[in-house]
Structure 1
Amino acid sequence: MGGSESTESTVQAKPPSQEFDKEWRDTPWEKKELLEENLRELKLGDSNVKYIRILLAGEVGAGKSSFINSINSVFQGRITTEALADSGFGRSFTKTYRTYYIRNGQSVLPFVFNDIMGLESEESQGVHPEDIAKSLEGLLKEGHNFNPAVSDKNVDYRSETRPEDLTYCLVYVIAADKVSMMNEEVFKKIRYIRENASSLGE
């Protein structure tokens, strides 16, 4: 039109992203049975330690209880729901300090998990960070009732601890789909817990 020669513009489509073309980490799935067998046959070198105690910490609804159920299900060879979980509850479903034993048939494996109340951003909600610090030292008794607003109820704390009461491994459970939305106050509590855990190794 108007003496000008019309040209056909072509839009070249961008090639698809290659970000998901490969796994983000190498997972040796072919060694799954070997790993499971090694854990079943795990022997502790210290006769004073009966169990390796693993403490799970994380925000409300992150999946701490579900993680315990998944581990137990692997060794039981069936779906188990010993640790009750409710991701839609809004507040922490776990109210007490409880030890979960991982069974291998009729026997118990030499590592246990402790589930605790979830972290929340509000000061008076969720597990008190000081309670987590005390659990790392083995001072929380089985069945300790978490009170978000109070952390000095000495009646629930041990005065002496045995080696098997101590926490040997602290695991943070974080929901991958919510990590970008986590409240800064929750991160502050996590940093406080990490500092306490680090000081125990000094």
Structure 2
Amino acid sequence: MGNSTPPPSPKVLPQEWRKGPWGNKVRDLQIVKDYQPFKEDVQLRCMLYGPVGAGNSSFINAVDSVLRGKITRRAAADSFFQRSFTTKYREYKIQKVPGTHYPFVFNDIMGLQKDAEKGVCVEDIKLAMKGHVKNGYQFNPISAISEDNQHYNRDPSLNDKVHVLVCVIPGNTAGLHNDNNPTQLLTEDFETKLREVRFEARDIGIPEIAILTKIDVTCPEVGKDIQNVYKSKYLKKKIEEMSGRLGFPQNCIFPVNNYHSEHETSDNTDTLILSALRGMIECGEDFVNDL
């Protein structure tokens, strides 16, 4: 008997439920490399927020790795999820060639926690969006930054303000149904904090996208082959759930896999990261140009 093709997994659809960006790495990488803001005095500012352990810092490292072609670890990350490893407001620029940087920056903040006196204050996130928080501010879970703090920016310029708000949610967070080994529960209190941040962004007019991380541990079929991401029944359900509970349109939710155990970059992982980065750049540039 000849070799037969194994039957498809019942957890994987025969066709993608969303057209994947496969084969677009070269194109998207060139788009990012060629990007120049229409307003020359503005660097596109992307601020990442989400629950503790979501992978904000790891995503910044992943973007840095893709654009520099090697695994980097500039943004400190940790695998212990009980409290935020990031405690300061940090700005990250990515080197393009020696002496120059890409015209966009990432701002990383302390993680959100469901408990009232743990994690970043929602008010600090709101003030950071408006450009009132300077790089290096040490977050205080109990109270927001005061106007007499040395890291308070009284008169923020357009360049100081956030142009894209990025909500990072780990795929293995427990939701409407039971998950195996969830990092934490997405409780109603937690959702209320996330929604409060979204309402502030809406009132300011800042565009938003969401990133679903840890897709390899969320769905074993994606862990086996990352190109199953848009065939995975489980991830499809997760994105629908994330859209329904937090309000993000499904086409604004980008599943990605951050680098965590690898020593080399890979084209498929890079492709998903570049797709999310391109989405940030496009909506952020539109926002800045409309001001």
Give 1:123's match in structure 2, choosing from 109, 116, 122. 116
Q: Residue in 2 aligned with 1:168? A: 163
* 1:188 and 2:192 correspond: yes
Instruction: Report the structure number with the largest CA radius of gyration.
Output: 1
Q: Residue in 2 aligned with 1:143? A: 136
CA distance in 2, matches of 1:102, 1:160: 26
Q: Residue in 1 aligned with 2:101? A: 108
TM-score under structure 2 length normalisation? 0.61
Q: Structure 2: which 5+ residue stretches go unaligned? A: 1-7, 176-184, 207-291
TM-score under structure 1 length normalisation? 0.87
> Could you say which structure has the higher helix fraction?
2
Structure 1 range deviating more: 20-29 or 75-84? 20-29
* 1:159 and 2:154 correspond: yes
- What is the CA distance between 1:162 and its match in structure 2? 1.4
Q: Structure 1: which 5+ residue stretches go unaligned? A: 1-14
Q: Any conservation in 2 of the 1:53–1:112 contact (CA below 8 Å)?
A: yes
Q: Residue in 1 aligned with 2:77? A: 85
Flag the 1:139–1:19 CA change in 2: closer, same or farther, 3 A: same
Give 1:55's match in structure 2, choosing from 44, 47, 56. 47
Letter in 1 for 2:71: I
- What is the CA distance between 1:103 and its match in structure 2? 1.7
Letter in 1 for 2:160: D
- What is the CA distance between 1:183 and its match in structure 2? 1.9
CA distance in 1, matches of 2:103, 2:174: 32
- What is the CA distance between 1:28 and its match in structure 2? 2.3
Flag the 1:179–1:57 CA change in 2: closer, same or farther, 3 A: farther
- What is the CA distance between 1:149 and its match in structure 2? 0.5
1:149-188 CA distances to partner (integer Å, 9 max, x unpaired)?
0014221311101111010000000001114131221111
Give the length in aligned residue pairs.
187
> How much is the aligned-residue C-alpha RMSD, in angstroms?
1.7
Q: Any conservation in 2 of the 1:65–1:115 contact (CA below 8 Å)?
A: yes
Partner-residue secondary structure (3-state), 2:128: helix
Q: Residue in 2 aligned with 1:6? A: none
Structure 1 range deviating more: 136-145 or 20-29? 20-29
* 1:200 and 2:193 correspond: no
Q: Residue in 2 aligned with 1:4? A: none
CA distance in 2, matches of 1:79, 1:198: 35
1:95-115 CA distances to partner (integer Å, 9 max, x unpaired)?
000101122232210111100
Partner-residue secondary structure (3-state), 2:16: coil
Flag the 1:16–1:61 CA change in 2: closer, same or farther, 3 A: closer
Partner-residue secondary structure (3-state), 1:66: helix
CA distance in 2, matches of 1:33, 1:186: 38
1:112-148 CA distances to partner (integer Å, 9 max, x unpaired)?
1100000000000000000000010011011011001
Letter in 1 for 2:103: P
